[in-house]
């Protein structure tokens, strides 16, 4: 019985040598081979020249009208001109520095020329002359290597198609094919390899992209097998139980906050562990959303933890949560690496017996020595600061712990679907009212005076300012001098009228806390810092952010830094100081000065630097798709994700198991490494 997962060696003519060569193209099975699609098509049919777009690459077919000429200019440079009669037009086609092409050309001969068409001048700049005219339709061009020729690959594909076409069956469920008006797989494979027209290819390619994304999403969703149903994961409280608390908040929830609270409560209510990522720009009010999830958990007689990446943040969260929860029965404790042993000894048993129902802290929270009574919810703030294993350790502290991860880094849609594909995503896409967008200006190094005058004005007005200096390497002494130099210069300029603080990563935690505390209490008015202030710090009286050598930072990081101001009612400012040396640097500064929209900025970051640079190649988790482009085809990608989520949902799981073709396809992917 023929099967698409047969190895390619089943084909006649594919011996060990050819098999190896095909392996190099990542083709192992018949399925791989049939899904190894052309990356381009040459159109060998007569063209209506008036239909061609300017600079379109096309293949023209015509007769050589007159003897081709070669003109020399300079020592080695020359140009061959072929005048090709195409229909009633004579098109001059230029080839540079390839005079030898001329000797095979005969007047009156019919040839095909592949090149770039200039529709204004009706000329072409030639790329390649194709002598065979036997293919009259659309010609598929594959990406090949030095061992395999177009011709031999095409032959093998043709052979595979004719032998296996009867066993090509759809793995995408029928209702999806109908809903998204997809084509069936057999048709897609046939059209992609042997198309008749451009329009044919377009439809087939769309389905091919969908199929590729769909399989990828299915794999993400099923890696861990069916989501485990567990009554223990259920949090009983609902919106109504939370209403008295919500009513007492000093502000109204924004519509966006309200929406994500509903999404979270819905998840918590279901007998499956929640795995949700809450995205919200700095200042969008994620803390209170987390607080509501925590309250729901505690009211349902379970424990909750709130995990933060640094001591400063953990303390800040403990304080603001204590304030929010002061009229509730929540017993809150702070547990960090700094917690003294004696206090720790008292805390641990009370955590274990459940007397304490909310624990805020750092990495200490998932250490072996800490045992929980019944951990129902783990909130992980700034989730990207924790490794996969750390997050797993936290989750495994309870029998069925729901996880709410939070991040202020806006994730472009492409990445949220690929890299974060196994998570559900909630987005707070609105800032609480009354907040004014931060005004950003970019100045050059020789304009620093302007910045100093500007600062003086705002300090006089009892506001505070951050001054950030980049540190490439915290241990590099040259860099360190940079921060301390800046610190001294600001001291000279502003002291004794204003106090200047200094914060960097080489200080011990106690000193850091002291410096932060002084700034919070307005004992210091200017804080010179490295990027250690990047995360979550909240001082609403700070209204000016100055960033030196701003072009040394990525857009996402600049956006994070800028978010440290603009947290109060007054107008806030960000001043970028940079003399960027390249175009990307200039564009980065322009993006920052013109936009405060985190999603726009992150998408730009993705375009300017590529996904690998943002998350690290290993981490980016974006596989090398063959047909689809996860950035420009993000809509198809998104549809594939929605569908895959539905297919793997509890109600459809039984259905899925019955879909033999899909199950086989998924098994084949898991055994193979086509996606890696």
Contact residues toward ligand ADP (CB under 6 A) are 251-254, 257, 280, 282-288, 408, 432, 538
| From the list ligand ADP, Mg ion, none, partner contacted by residue 586 (C-beta under 5 to 8 A by kind) | none
Provide, rounded to whole angstroms, the least separation between the CB of residue 287 and ligand ADP.
3
Which is closer to ligand ADP, CB of 383 or CB of 482? 383
Provide, rounded to whole angstroms, the least separation between the CB of residue 458 and ligand ADP.
20
Provide, rounded to whole angstroms, the least separation between the CB of residue 250 and ligand ADP.
8
**Count of residues touching Mg ion (by CB under 5 A):** 1
Which is closer to Mg ion, CB of 192 or CB of 256? 256
d(CA 58, CA 81): 17
| Binders of Mg ion in range 300-359 (CB under 5 A) | none
Tokens matching residue 555? 């857009």
Residues 11, 160 contacting (CB under 8 angstroms): yes
**Residue 127: left (phi > 0), alpha (psi -120 to 50), or beta?**
alpha
- Report the candidate in 671, 662, 676, 668 with the shortest Cα–Cα distance to residue 218: 662
In the numeric block, the tokens 């304080």 are attached to 319
Provide, rounded to whole angstroms, the least separation between the CB of residue 562 and Mg ion.
15
Which is closer to ligand ADP, CB of 374 or CB of 538? 538
CB-closest chain residue to Mg ion:
536
Which is closer to ligand ADP, CB of 284 or CB of 543? 284
Alpha helices in 252-387, H assignment, sequence order: 255-269, 286-299, 311-324, 341-352
Kind and range of the H or E element at 515? helix 509-520
Which is closer to ligand ADP, CB of 126 or CB of 285? 285
Parallel/antiparallel/unpaired status of strands 110-118 and 123-130:
antiparallel
Which is closer to ligand ADP, CB of 100 or CB of 251? 251
Provide, rounded to whole angstroms, the least separation between the CB of residue 535 and ligand ADP.
10
| Binders of Mg ion in range 533-552 (CB under 5 A) | 536
What distances in angstroms separate CA 472 from CA 451, 480, 505, 620, one per listed residue? 24, 10, 12, 22
SS3 annotation, 78-132 = EEEEEEEEECCEEEEEEEECCHHHHHHCCCCCEEEEEEEEECCCCEEEEEEEECC
Provide, rounded to whole angstroms, the least separation between the CB of residue 405 and ligand ADP.
13
Provide, rounded to whole angstroms, the least separation between the CB of residue 409 and ligand ADP.
11
In the numeric block, the tokens 């293919």 are attached to 135
Q: Which residues contact 213 (CB under 8 A, 6 or more apart)?
A: 625, 628, 630, 633, 636, 637, 640, 641
d(CA 461, CA 304): 42
| From the list Mg ion, ligand ADP, none, partner contacted by residue 580 (C-beta under 5 to 8 A by kind) | none
| From the list ligand ADP, Mg ion, none, partner contacted by residue 397 (C-beta under 5 to 8 A by kind) | none
Q: Which residues contact 532 (CB under 8 A, 6 or more apart)?
A: 503, 504, 505, 512
d(CA 311, CA 491): 28
- Report the candidate in 43, 53, 11 with the shortest Cα–Cα distance to residue 29: 11
| From the list ligand ADP, Mg ion, none, partner contacted by residue 602 (C-beta under 5 to 8 A by kind) | none
Which is closer to Mg ion, CB of 195 or CB of 536? 536
Alpha helices in 165-280, H assignment, sequence order: 174-179, 185-193, 198-222, 239-248, 255-269
In the numeric block, the tokens 């009208």 are attached to 65
Provide, rounded to whole angstroms, the least separation between the CB of residue 585 and ligand ADP.
28
> Does 410 sit near Mg ion (CB under 5 A)?
no
Give me the long-range contacts of 47-54 (CB less than 8 A, separation at least 24).
47/86, 48/87, 49/86, 49/87, 49/89, 49/91, 49/119, 49/122, 52/117, 52/119, 53/117, 53/119, 54/117, 54/118, 54/119, 54/120
Coil, helix or strand at residue 429: coil
Provide, rounded to whole angstroms, the least separation between the CB of residue 545 and ligand ADP.
15
Binding part of the chain for Mg ion, among 8-16, 512-520, 528-536, 613-621 by CB under 5 A, reads 528-536
Burial tier of 312 (Cβ tally within 10 Å: 0-12, 13-18, 19+): buried
Would you give the distance in Å from CA 250 to the centre of its chain?
Answer: 35
Provide, rounded to whole angstroms, the least separation between the CB of residue 45 and ligand ADP.
58
Which is closer to Mg ion, CB of 204 or CB of 406? 406
Q: What is the CA radius of gyration of the chain?
A: 32
CB-closest chain residue to ligand ADP:
285
Provide, rounded to whole angstroms, the least separation between the CB of residue 286 and Mg ion.
5
Which is closer to Mg ion, CB of 227 or CB of 520? 520
Which is closer to Mg ion, CB of 309 or CB of 536? 536
| From the list ligand ADP, Mg ion, none, partner contacted by residue 309 (C-beta under 5 to 8 A by kind) | none
| From the list Mg ion, ligand ADP, none, partner contacted by residue 251 (C-beta under 5 to 8 A by kind) | ligand ADP
| From the list ligand ADP, Mg ion, none, partner contacted by residue 285 (C-beta under 5 to 8 A by kind) | ligand ADP
Which is closer to Mg ion, CB of 217 or CB of 560? 560
Provide, rounded to whole angstroms, the least separation between the CB of residue 319 and ligand ADP.
11
Which is closer to ligand ADP, CB of 200 or CB of 381? 381
Which is closer to Mg ion, CB of 412 or CB of 536? 536
d(CA 471, CA 481): 10
Residues 554, 614 contacting (CB under 8 angstroms): yes
Provide, rounded to whole angstroms, the least separation between the CB of residue 331 and Mg ion.
22
- Report the candidate in 349, 299, 305, 350 with the shortest Cα–Cα distance to residue 329: 299
**Which residues of this chain interact with Mg ion, rule CB under 5 A?**
536
């Amino acid at each position: 019985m023929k099967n698409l997962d047969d190895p390619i060696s089943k084909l006649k003519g594919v011996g060990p040598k050819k098999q190896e060569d095909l392996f190099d193209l990542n083709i192992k099975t018949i399925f791989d081979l049939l899904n190894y699609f052309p990356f381009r098509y040459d159109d060998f049919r007569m063209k209506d020249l008036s239909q061609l777009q300017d600079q379109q690459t096309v293949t023209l077919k015509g007769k050589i009208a007159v003897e081709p000429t070669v003109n020399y200019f300079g020592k080695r440079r020359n140009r061959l001109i072929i005048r090709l009669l195409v229909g009633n037009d004579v098109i001059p086609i230029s080839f540079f520095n390839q005079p030898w092409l001329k000797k095979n050309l005969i007047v009156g001969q019919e040839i095909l020329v592949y090149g770039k068409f200039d529709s204004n001048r009706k000329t072409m700049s030639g790329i390649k002359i194709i002598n065979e005219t036997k293919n009259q339709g659309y010609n598929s061009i594959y990406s090949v290597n030095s061992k395999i020729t177009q011709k031999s690959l095409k032959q093998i594909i043709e052979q595979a198609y004719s032998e296996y076409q009867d066993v090509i069956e759809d793995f995408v469920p029928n209702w999806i094919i109908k809903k998204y008006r997809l084509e069936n797989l057999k048709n897609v494979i046939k059209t992609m390899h042997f198309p008749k027209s451009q329009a044919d290819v377009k439809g087939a390619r769309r389905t091919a992209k969908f199929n590729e994304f769909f399989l990828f999403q299915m794999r993400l969703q099923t890696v861990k097998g069916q989501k485990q149903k567990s009554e223990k994961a259920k949090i009983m409280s609902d919106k109504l139980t939370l209403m008295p608390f919500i009513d007492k908040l000093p502000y109204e929830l924004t519509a966006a906050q309200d929406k994500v609270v509903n999404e979270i409560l819905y998840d918590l209510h279901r007998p499956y562990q929640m795995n949700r990522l809450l995205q919200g720009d700095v200042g969008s009010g994620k803390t209170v959303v987390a607080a509501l999830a925590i309250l729901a958990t505690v009211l349902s007689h379970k424990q909750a933890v709130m995990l933060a990446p640094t001591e400063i943040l953990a303390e800040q969260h403990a304080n603001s949560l204590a304030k929010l929860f002061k009229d509730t029965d929540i017993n809150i404790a702070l547990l960090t690496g700094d917690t003294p042993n004696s206090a720790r000894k008292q805390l641990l048993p009370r955590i274990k017996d459940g007397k304490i129902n909310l624990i805020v802290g750092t990495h200490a929270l998932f250490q072996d020595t800490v045992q929980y009574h019944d951990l129902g919810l783990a909130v992980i703030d700034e989730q990207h600061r924790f490794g996969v294993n750390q997050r797993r350790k936290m989750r495994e502290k309870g029998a069925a712990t729901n996880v709410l991860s939070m991040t202020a880094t806006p994730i472009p849609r492409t990445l949220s679907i690929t890299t974060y594909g196994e998570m559900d995503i909630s987005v707070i896409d609105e800032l609480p009212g009354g907040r004014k967008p931060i005004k950003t200006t970019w100045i050059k190094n020789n304009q620093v005076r302007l910045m100093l005058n500007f600062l003086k004005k705002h300090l006089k007005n009892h506001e505070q300012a951050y001054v950030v200096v980049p540190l490439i390497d915290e241990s590099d002494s040259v860099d360190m001098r940079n921060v301390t130099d800046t610190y001294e210069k600001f001291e000279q300029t502003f002291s004794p009228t204003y106090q200047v603080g200094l914060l960097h990563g080489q200080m011990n935690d106690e000193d850091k806390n002291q410096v932060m505390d002084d700034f919070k209490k307005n004992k210091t008015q200017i804080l010179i810092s490295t990027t250690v202030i990047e995360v979550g710090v909240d001082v609403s009286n700070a209204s000016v952010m100055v960033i030196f050598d701003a072009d040394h930072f990525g857009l996402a990081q600049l956006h994070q830094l800028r978010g440290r101001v603009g947290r109060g009612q007054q107008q806030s400012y960000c001043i970028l100081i940079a003399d960027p040396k390249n175009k990307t640097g200039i564009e980065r500064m322009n993006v920052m000065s013109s936009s405060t929209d985190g999603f726009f900025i992150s998408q730009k970051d993705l375009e300017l630097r590529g996904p690998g640079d943002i998350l690290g190649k290993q981490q980016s988790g974006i596989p090398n798709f063959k047909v689809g482009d996860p950035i420009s085809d993000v809509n198809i990608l998104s549809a594939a994700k929605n569908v895959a989520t539905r297919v793997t949902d509890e109600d459809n799981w039984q259905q899925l198991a019955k879909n033999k073709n899909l199950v086989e396809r998924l098994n084949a992917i898991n055994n193979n490494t086509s996606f890696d």
